[in-house]
Structure 1
Amino acid sequence: MTEQHSHQFERGTDGPKVIVVGVDGSDSSLRAAAYAAGLARRQHALLAVVYVQPVLAAGAALGAPVAETTDEIAEDLVAYIRDAAERLKGIFEVRWEFHTFRGDPYGGLVKAADDLKADAVVVGASEQAGHRIVGSVAVRLVKAGRWPVTVVP
């Protein structure tokens, strides 16, 4: 009898190795990033900070410079994270990367988590009242059941 070794990706065997956190500049997403950074530091995991650039076809059709605006948001987020990491250097070390995906927030985070082989996903609670009824990105990620999801208030 021969033993076959599977080279398939296996999640959660020795704690998380990659933690994906979704950021969009909102207060709750920045709290989620801070929480995820602490988790990544304690677990010696890579923190993958993900900004999903919305694809706003209606805005683009009206001539609004959508791509430029979302690129500026991404650049501002990277600058903010670099600044925070620099201020904490020597006190709070965490390996991190910044990734930008395009699409709706849920689809972008799913693609990011799949592409980056995430062991865990951290998001901020939605700050929009309507999401309590319709369902937020966080609720949809939890329902997908593909990764442990932490929702930070």
Structure 2
Amino acid sequence: MRDGPSTILVGVDGSTSSLRAAAYALGLARRQGSRLIAVYVRTPPSALLPLADTGGAAATVIDTQDALEQELRTAFAERLHGVDVDARLVVRAGEPYTELCDAAREVQADAVIVGRSANVLHRVAGSIGNKLVRCGRWPVTVVP
């Protein structure tokens, strides 16, 4: 019998707060003997971008996401080296809130951890952390 979550899902996007959230989740998973699922959601460029794209912005967005994915995979492997935790990195494409909810449902997560949004607009419109808390399906920890 466990006294904590058996499966922890953490959202990562390369931001400082998401990397802090991943470090916190890794420590929690190690201490609790939990499975750790890190999810990176690639946001596809707008369907209209190629129509107005004369400078290759769509390719730049995709290249940036490819580079970030590779950095996350490398950092994930380095952080897990020598740590006894059942962990994996999952890469999905779509809207971050929807994909995190779907992933949490699929892996039957007992806890969701995300980093605090640095976007000022999210304070008005609501961040992913706020949306996950309001969703009410999992305990959510928002790491500053």
Where on the TM-score scale, by shorter chain, does this alignment land: which range? 0.7 to 0.9
SS at match of 1:130: helix
2:14 maps to a residue whose letter is G
Highest CA radius of gyration, 1 or 2?
1
TM-score where L is the length of structure 1: 0.82
1:106 maps to a residue whose letter is Y
Instruction: Please provide the CA RMSD for this pair.
Output: 1.7
Higher helix share: 2
1:128 maps to a residue whose letter is N
The structural deviation recorded for 1:79 is 0.5
66, 81, 85: which is aligned to 2:80? 85
The structural deviation recorded for 1:105 is 1.2
Any idea what the Cα deviations from partners look like across 1:71-124, whole Å, max 9, x if unmatched? 3321210101111222xx2xx432210101111111111111111111110000
| Residue segments in structure 2 that go unaligned for 5+ positions in a row | none
Identical-residue share of aligned pairs (%): 47
Map of 1:5 onto structure 2: none
Map of 1:35 onto structure 2: 24
TM-score where L is the length of structure 2: 0.87
Q: What is the aligned residue count?
A: 137
Change (3 A) 1:40 1:68: same
